[in-house]
A and B are shown apart, each in its own frame.
Chain A
Amino acid sequence: MGTRRRDAEFTEFVASRRVRLHRTAYLLCGDPHRAEDIVQQALAKLYVSWPRVRRADSVDAYARRSVLNAFLDDGARGWRREVVAEIQDRAQADPLTHEDSDALWQALRELPPGQRRVVVLRHYWGLSVEETAADLGVSPGTVKSQTSAALARLRDVLVPADATGDHR
């Protein structure tokens, strides 16, 4: 594969997927600046591996996995840089109300990284259990159990307010 073709294909991919990858990273780490770091790192790795990945027709999966792994590599920092300020900054553009958004961020923040990854892959990317398992290198049973556990935790955080009729 020539450099010109590689560059053209890579640039086209970035144009079509960058926002989604950034949002994926943002949902995982809760910090837009870290998300940008993660995406930049993932895309640089993708460029290096482009001929192989392109040939295998697995560009999306590779990019997604790179984001997930970059998040994990950076995982020691977790959610320590909290996102309250960012939530306030972007509240106006958020289709969710500020309260809903805040509650959901709080719920996501309380999920272990593994469950958060499953939630993002299944409920943001819309991957099946099997596809999610393939991305994460785990069994479908693990994905199912993590999905179930994540839902239970989210219910714990989100449902009580709904049950009381409060608008969150």
Chain B
Amino acid sequence: MTEAQLTEQIHRLAEGLEAPPGDADGDLVRGRARLRRRRTTLAGGVLTVALAGGLAWSALDTDSAPPVAGEPATIQPGAPADLRDDLEARVRELAAPTRSREDELPAITVRQLRWITDALVDRVSGPLGWLSVGTSDSWRASGAEACPRGWTCEDAQVRGADRARWAEAGTVHQLAVEVDGHVHLFTLNGADERPAEVAWGGTRP
């Protein structure tokens, strides 16, 4: 079987599949309900601008923003559990100051952040001295499709995420996560300093 034959066969098979009658109204209702739930969650404590102290998370996806925005914040070295505590404590501090336009809604829910934290904690062991979090306008813009020389990259499983990917080199780990069209980029370093090199996001000293 050639590729062309396979294409023909797949199309003939697909054309024979009975699709239910279009239910655009139902899809609209479900979409609105999901949006309402999301806003309710956000009102309960979602972040717009993340981790305190010049942190890195910006949910304001202005067209002029760089592909990955954000200044890193340092956390104290410690066991992986410290990362979870630190993230969750900081997230609770965050409110959404600008919810006047839907485009400015925060990019992630606390629940989703916890799932991401779970993935980080499961993956990264040893001391953690550095954490930064950035956002990107798109998966492609984040650079996560590529794997620079010297890095080990692989797909990651993060609950609730559209997709996720790891990059690792020495003590530096990066996790790119796409959730509902928003891309978040976590950079962690076992050393207590900004990484000299990163795979994605262009964070540089």
Contact = CB atoms under 8 A, between A and B. Distances in A.
Interface of A: 1, 7, 10-11, 14-15, 18-19, 22-23, 26-27, 32, 36, 40, 43-53, 56, 58, 62, 65-66, 69, 90, 93-96, 100-101, 104-105, 119-120, 122-124, 126, 133-134, 137-139, 147, 151, 154-155, 158-159
B31 A159 contact: no
A52 B162 contact: no
B162 A69 contact: yes
For the side of the interface on B, what is the size category? 35 or more
B131 interface: no
A104 B9 contact: yes
Contacts of B38: 48
A18 B22 contact: yes
B24 interface: yes
A124 B22 contact: no
Contacts of A53: 181
Chain A contact residues, majority secondary structure: helix
B9 A90 contact: no
Contact of A1 (B14, B103, B138, B139): B103
A139 B140 CA distance: 12
A95 B35 CA distance: 40
A65 B162 contact: yes
Given A22-B19, A23-B19, A101-B13, 13 more contacts: A11-B24, A11-B27, A15-B22, A23-B17, A32-B17, A32-B20, A40-B27, A44-B31, A44-B34, A45-B180, A104-B13, A124-B10, A137-B144
Interface string B141-173: 000110100000001000000110100000000
Nearest to B34: A44
A90 B181 contact: no
A52 B14 contact: no
Nearest to A105: B13
Contacts of A14: 22, 24, 27-28
